[in-house]
Structure 1
Amino acid sequence: MANNIEVKDLLEAGVHFGHLTRKWNPNMAPYIYMERNGIHVINLYKTVAKLEEANEALKKIAASGRKILFVATKKQAKDIVAEKAGNANMPYITERWPGGMLTNFVTIRKAVKKMASIDRMKKDGTFNTLSKKERLQVERLRAKLEKNLGSISEMTRLPAALFIVDTMREHIAVKEALKLNIPIFAMVDTNSDPRPIDYLIPSNDDASKSIDAILSHVSNAIIEGLAERKSEKTEKEEPKAAAPKKAAKPDDLTKIEGIGPKIAEVFNEQGIMTFADLASKTEDDLKEILVEAGSTFASNNPASWAKQAKMAAEGKWAELKEWQETVKGGVE
């Protein structure tokens, strides 16, 4: 993965451009290379190192089957995030951050379910029974929900991590994630505070080229993790499918009063190998097998054999022995 990230590519995308020196956050000092024409320049070697670290962690999360929520509501990042997160099959927020998105997730899920409920109304014809005014109101509600929450409709539980573009703009998302101890991955510019971020990527979070360059690497890492998960799942399933089913160990059916070695052999040939198999048969089933086996066996009375087999299958040997001593020849 490290070989795919080149300092030259990040340089060409303008990832190194920070904010005006007067707007800087002193906590970003370790990631600043120099100051030029009143603008801070980000150290791209540190950006590469932090990007590799973040990608490795994101890859593991994706491989575990959990979701990473992308957050970017600024104009120049919206389309890029929607595309990259969509490619990686991850949820994203590109419109206004809904307050309580994480801390009040149950309510957000209700809104998503409302959207699904409206879709069901359209399918089953209930929607057509509404008045024109009601239909218009429902349509508007559906469009509003789709715009704000459509991209997270598949997110049925809290995400395992957040990836944020511009932590200053998305400060509410940062606060909610911190409150719930959800790891935060973020593109952090020179004017932002890196301290609340678990995996920061020092980079220009204003230029669309810079955002695209960073998110391309991030989404590729997630897709890689998903591919690993899929291949591991396939490998686990294949041996299970190929493994032959172990045959059940035959029970000694002669322990049932009235069944001798010959009758036990007849039953074994018919697939009745265990006490449980025998207990599952009705008197008529057993009688039919005996009749088909020949006149020698047809005279036997299997009325109580299933009952005895049930006791044997359940391990009630004392009860079975007492029953056999009371009833002669296995006939009640």
Structure 2
Amino acid sequence: MANKIDVKELLEAGVHFGHMTRKWDPNMAPYIYMERNGIHIINLYKTAAKIEEANEALKKIAASGRKILFVATKKQAKDIVAEKAAACNMPYITERWPGGMLTNFITIRKAIKKMASIDRMKKDGTFMTLSKKERLQVDRLRAKLDKNLGSIADMSRIPAALFVVDIKAEHIAVKEAKKLNIPVFAMVDTNSDPRLVEYVIPANDDASKSIDKILSLVTTSITEGLSERKSDKEETATEAPVAEAEETSSEA
């Protein structure tokens, strides 16, 4: 089971602060506790329950060896997402979402291969045989590809799930995932429609402290899933020679 979420910690991180009441999405009503000074307050007990539910599912995905793609291009979330996703070895997009990132993944893979090809050129010396102008063009292309796709360079296939901060800001990513039936886990504020995602975490998606808190909780579960996978692999590797030895012994 996932770890119990401390509601007090969520409160201290400001996770409960929603948007102004006039900007709300009525579909968020089940997750709203009250209104205070024209701002909707999110019910943190419901948030805690939803985090636990999401964490259980994320842990299973990580334990199965599949990838979870983190998406957050808004200023206050970018650095947090990059740090937390990288720490649990998951791909992330923090620059502009490349159109067709999921629905046209073959093209994205070609761009990633191009990046690897440039790196090989630099290693084997081919790069230095180019003219100064050509080297400059290749360097610019490599920098551009790295900025947009560097964080997904190791993603060889479509991710098993998306984790999104602010589904309004990342509506294209959510739409592409929906087309391919990829489950979306997301921090959903009071101005968004929770029906667009499979795993809703009602939370303040604007404050960096709130984003950091939620990301810390979900990536901890992902890390646990990865640790379980590693332990299972080691166990299997240890059991194999023992089973082989027993088989040889019985044959003798």
- Compute the TM-score of the two structures, normalised by the length of structure 1: 0.74
Could you list the runs of 5+ residues in structure 2 that have no partner in the other structure?
Answer: none
Could you list the runs of 5+ residues in structure 1 that have no partner in the other structure?
Answer: 251-332
Distance of 1:196 and 1:211 partners within structure 2: 20
Equivalent pairs, count: 250
SS in 2 for 1:136: helix
Report whether the alignment pairs 1:214 with 2:210.
no
Residue identity in the other structure for 1:157? R
Aligned to 1:38: 38
Per-residue CA shift, 1:69-109, capped at 9, x if unaligned?
00000000000000110111000000000000000000000
Deviation at 1:246, TM superposition (A): 2.0
**Structure-2 change in CA distance of 1:7 and 1:140 (3 Å):** same
Report whether the alignment pairs 1:83 with 2:83.
yes
SS in 1 for 2:210: helix
Aligned to 2:20: 20
Distance of 1:29 and 1:21 partners within structure 2: 11
Distance of 1:39 and 1:25 partners within structure 2: 13
Aligned to 2:205: 205
Distance of 2:209 and 2:215 partners within structure 1: 10
Aligned to 2:55: 55
Deviation at 1:237, TM superposition (A): 1.3
Deviation at 1:236, TM superposition (A): 1.2
SS in 2 for 1:185: strand
Aligned to 2:157: 157
Per-residue CA shift, 1:114-169, capped at 9, x if unaligned?
00000000011100000000000000000000010000000000000000000000
Q: Does the 8 Å contact 2:67/2:161 carry over to 1?
A: yes
Residue identity in the other structure for 1:107? T
Distance of 1:74 and 1:170 partners within structure 2: 9
Aligned to 1:246: 248
Counterpart mapping for 1:111-130 below 5 A: 111-130=111-130
Distance of 2:2 and 2:48 partners within structure 1: 8
Residue identity in the other structure for 2:129? T
Aligned to 2:147: 147
Report whether the alignment pairs 1:5 with 2:5.
yes
Deviation at 1:235, TM superposition (A): 1.0
Residue identity in the other structure for 1:139? D
Residue identity in the other structure for 1:37? N
Q: Does the 8 Å contact 2:2/2:55 carry over to 1?
A: no
SS in 2 for 1:168: coil
Aligned to 1:170: 170
Distance of 1:218 and 1:249 partners within structure 2: 50
SS in 2 for 1:69: strand
SS in 2 for 1:102: coil
- Structure number with the bigger relative contact order (C-alpha 8 A, sep ≥ 6) is 2
Residue identity in the other structure for 1:180? L
Aligned to 1:274: none
Q: Percent identity?
A: 78
